[in-house]
């Protein structure tokens, strides 16, 4: 594997807001939705933006603990009980991204009738999501604005002369 096989993609608040609003626009008309299920934690901010755009007030979170990065074989775990819906009918399930698809594959068993949408998608997870806004290569790591901090960077030319 070469040095450039692993890339990074830094998402600003403005870009996240723009992409999420675009995803919201594609969920119109809003009347078809009974509510939103935000996949906590990454889906919380996108879900808030979409709830605002579609004027949806029923927002529940699905708190998923994923072990994908430590133990490949372990199943994700749902830390709370979902009370808003039995099968997800009329609900949007919203996450920030789909990568391997493990999180959404797990949630689809509980919410087979929901529509699953994410702001970003990597190829392996695409079959698990009904709609997404941005496409990112499998080997690219996405950095979301809530995980970052603005900081000083040295000029390319170095010291003043």
> Given strand 115-121, what is the order of strands in its sheet?
77-78, 59-65, 35-40, 91-98, 115-121, 131-135
Beta-bridged to residue 94, according to DSSP, are: 38, 117
CB-closest chain residue to ligand GUN: 99
97 is in an annotated binding site: yes
Minimum CB distance to Mg ion, residue 152 (Å): 30
5 is catalytic: no
Cβ proximity to ligand PRP: between 41 and 113 the closer is: 41
Q: Which of the following is catalytic: 5, 87, 99, 147?
A: 99
Candidates 21-29, 105-113, 136-144, 148-156: pick the segment binding ligand GUN (CB under 6 A).
136-144
Q: Which residues contact 103 (CB under 8 A, 6 or more apart)?
A: 39, 64, 66, 68, 76, 95
Minimum CB distance to ligand PRP, residue 79 (Å): 10
101 lines the binding site for Mg ion (CB under 5 A): no
Half-sphere exposure at residue 75, Cβ-oriented, CA atoms within 13 angstroms: 7
The C-alpha atoms of residue 135 and residue 124 are separated, in whole angstroms, by 11
The helix or strand, by DSSP H or E, that contains position 23, with its residue range, turns out to be: helix 13-25
Cβ proximity to ligand GUN: between 14 and 159 the closer is: 14
| Binding site partner of 102, from ligand GUN, ligand PRP, Mg ion, none, Cβ cut-off 5-8 A by kind | ligand PRP
Encoded tokens for 23: 């995803």
- Positions in the binding site for ligand GUN (CB under 6 A): 97, 99, 141-142, 144
Annotated binding-site ranges for guanine? 99, 142
């Amino acid at each position: 594997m070469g040095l450039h096989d692993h890339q990074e993609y830094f998402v600003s608040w403005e870009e996240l807001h723009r992409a999420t609003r675009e995803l919201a626009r594609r969920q119109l008309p809003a009347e078809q939705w009974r509510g939103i299920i935000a996949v906590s934690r990454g889906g919380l901010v996108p879900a808030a933006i979409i709830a605002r755009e579609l004027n949806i007030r029923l927002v529940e979170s699905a708190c998923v603990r994923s072990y994908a990065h430590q133990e490949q074989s372990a199943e994700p775990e749902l830390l709370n009980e979902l009370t808003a819906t039995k099968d997800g009918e009329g609900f949007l399930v919203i996450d920030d991204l789909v990568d391997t698809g493990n999180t959404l594959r797990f949630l689809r068993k509980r919410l087979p009738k929901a529509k699953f949408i994410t702001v970003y998608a990597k190829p392996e997870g695409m079959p698990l999501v009904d709609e997404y806004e941005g496409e990112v290569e499998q080997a690219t790591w996405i950095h979301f604005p809530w995980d970052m901090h603005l900081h000083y960077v040295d000029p390319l030319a170095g010291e003043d002369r």
